[in-house]
Amino acid sequence: MSMTDPIADFLTRVRNGIVAQHDIVEIPASKLKREMARILTEQGYISGFETRPRDADHPAEVLAVELKYADDRRSAITGLKRASRPGQRYYVDHSSIPKVQGGMGTTIVSTSRGVMTGHEARTAGVGGEVVAFVW
């Protein structure tokens, strides 16, 4: 299986983990995925994450994402959507960064100043590639 879109894979693994009620999802690590996990943690969508080194089972570094649930086992994440795709990139300037669920959700934007939320990018006055929406 060739991985053409690792970010879509990241979102799908998190989505599947939630459906299966897993506590931890393991995802092949990358800088962008680590930054996305950092934002998801800061925004309260996941409990946290850690990077595990390569070992006999995993030829590459693994990102262990700790999913977050309410007391009734409802996930903190209602939905995840890939915005920019390898075949159809989605770039915006800071004034047209989309709001998710009327500002209730989070837009993840990859900018020249690093990966940040849509809100941070708007405040910083930088645009970039809209990577994903979370709500």
Tell me whether strands 91-92 and 114-117 are parallel, antiparallel or unpaired: unpaired
8 A C-beta contact, residue 133 and residue 99: no
Span 73-106, pLDDT tens digits: 999 999 999 999 999 999 999 999 999 999 899 9
Report all structural domains of the chain as residue ranges with CATH numbers, in order of start: 6-67 (3.30.1370.30), 80-134 (3.30.1490.10)
pLDDT in tens, 8-53: 999 999 999 999 999 999 999 999 999 999 999 999 999 999 999 9
Range 75-78 contact pairs with CB under 8 angstroms and sequence separation of 24 or more: 75/18, 76/44, 76/45, 76/46, 77/14, 77/18, 77/40, 77/45, 77/46, 77/134, 77/135, 78/135
